[in-house]
Amino acid sequence: MKQDELDNLIAALKPAAVAELADDAYARRPDVAQVRARADASTVNSRLVPARRPVRRLALAGVAAVAVAATALAVAVPSDGPGDAPGAGHDGTLDTRTFLLASATTAAKQPATRGTCWYKRTRMWQDIMPFKPGAGVPTPAGKPMGRLQNFQARTASSVEDWACAQAGTGMRFGTNGPLDIKVTFPTKKDEAAWKAAGSPPLDVNDGTTVSKPRMVTYSKGSHLVNPVIGSHEIEWKTIAKLPATDSALESYLRRLWRQDRRGGAHGYTAPADFGQYVFVSAWDLFMAPTTPGTRAALYRILARTPSVHVTGQITDRLGRPGVAITAKGTSVRLVVDRKTAHLLDFEDQYTALPGKKAGSEYLAFESQGWVNKLGATPAR
C-alpha cells in the first residue's frame, strides 16, 4: 500500500470528532477550527467519512455538519438519536458549585494508574436525510443525481481507539470500527421507501451498514487524536504532566486563553469569557489520560466559573443516569456520572447560520481506561 493510500485510510478511521467538517461548521464553532488543520495535515479522501474529535472526538465522527459530496444521493448528519428530549428529568435541588466540587473530590480519589495504551470506545449517531438542493448544497450542473432518495433513517455505531506509548518518544495508534451498527426509521413510511429503493447500504461512521469492522494501526499522525484546548494541541506524551492543582492549572489555561484572545492558530480567536473557553475544551481533557489531580482541578475551576451551571439530572441515550452541565454563551452540554465523576456524553446543539438548519453533534463515551497492549480492552 502506498503512503498516500495509507494516509487516506488512517484519516478515514480517525475517531469521530475529527470527522470531515463542512465550512459552515467552522463558522458556527470557531473553537474547533483547529480540527480542520489536523484533518488537512494528512492526505484525506473527501469521500470517506472519518470518526473523531469531536469529534473530538468524537466523536468525536459524526460532527457538527457533514459536507455534501457532489454526487451524493443522501446526506448523513449527526442525529439527536433515541430520546431526543433534552433530558428525562430535572433536580431543582442540585447546586452547580456543590456538584462540581463533589465531582472534584471523587476524581481526586481515583487511582493514578498508568499503562501502555489508553483505550476508549465512543458511540455516534447519524441521520441519513433525503438530498435536497438548496443554499450551500446545489445540484451539480451537468452531473446526473440518479434517483433521489426520499426516506430518512437513523444509524448508530461505535468505534474503538488506542494510543500507545513506545520506546523513546514514539507513539502507536489504532482504531477499530464500525461496531455494533444499528438502524432505525422515524416512520414506517420511511422504512418502506428505503425497501422500495432496494434497501441500499446506509452511511455509518467510517463505512456503511454492511461494513465489517476494520482494525488499522499507524505510528504517525498524533495530531489527529491529540486533545485540544482552544487552538493548542496537547501532545500525548505531556498529558500526564499537566498541572494537578487548580491554581496551577488555571494559570496554565489562562496563559493559553490570552494567547488565543490575541489570535490563535488557524484563525481561531478565543471568547472573552474565560469560563466558556475552558468549558468547551473540558471534555477533551476529561477523555484523555489526565491524572486524577488534573481532573479534580478542572472540576474546581469549572465550579467557580459563573457561566457554567448544572441544568439537572437526565438519562442519556445509552440509558445511563447523569447530570447535565452547560455554559452560558455556548451550545455545548456535558453529561457527567454523579457517582464516578466520569464524562458520559458530549453534545453540541448548535444554532443555524443564515439559510441553514440547526443541528447537533452527540458522542457517548462507552468505555475508557489503560490496557497493556494495542487491541486489548479494559476489564469490565
- Beta-carbon contacts of residue 326 (< 8 Å; ≥ 6 apart): 308, 309, 311, 332, 333, 334
Q: Is 357 exposed, middle or buried (CB count within 10 Å of its CB: 0-12, 13-18, 19+)? A: exposed
Per-residue model confidence (pLDDT) at position 52? 37
Q: Which of 71-85, 112-126, 275-289 comes out lowest in average pLDDT?
A: 71-85
- Beta-carbon contacts of residue 366 (< 8 Å; ≥ 6 apart): 121, 122, 123, 158, 318
Place of cell 478542572: 298
- pLDDT of residue 248 exceeding 70, the answer is yes
Contact assessment for residue 370 and residue 119, using Cβ atoms and an 8 Å cutoff: yes
- pLDDT of residue 58 exceeding 60, the answer is no
Q: Which residue has the higher pLDDT, 326 or 219?
A: 326
Q: Count CB neighbours of 321 within 10 A.
A: 15
Place of cell 448548535: 350
C-alpha torsion sign, points 149, 152, 156, 162: positive
Contact assessment for residue 107 and residue 340, using Cβ atoms and an 8 Å cutoff: no
Summarised one tens digit per residue, pLDDT across range 332-344 is: 999 999 999 999 9
pLDDT tier, 220 (very low <50, low <70, confident <90, very high otherwise): confident
Share above pLDDT 70 across residues of the chain, in percent, rounded to a whole number: 68
Per-residue model confidence (pLDDT) at position 141? 55
Summarised one tens digit per residue, pLDDT across range 80-115 is: 444 333 323 344 468 999 999 999 999 999 988 888
Summarised one tens digit per residue, pLDDT across range 118-176 is: 999 999 988 777 766 666 555 555 554 455 678 888 889 999 999 998 877 688 999 99
Q: Is the peptide bond before 317 cis (omega within 30 degrees of 0)?
A: no
- The full length of the chain comes to 380
Per-residue model confidence (pLDDT) at position 264? 79
Q: For the chain, give the mean pLDDT.
A: 75
**Taking residues 346-375, what's their average pLDDT?**
78
Per-residue model confidence (pLDDT) at position 157? 93
- pLDDT of residue 227 exceeding 80, the answer is yes
272 alpha carbon, distance to own chain's centre: 24
pTM over 0.85: no
Q: Which residue has the higher pLDDT, 30 or 133?
A: 133
Share above pLDDT 90 across residues of the chain, in percent, rounded to a whole number: 47
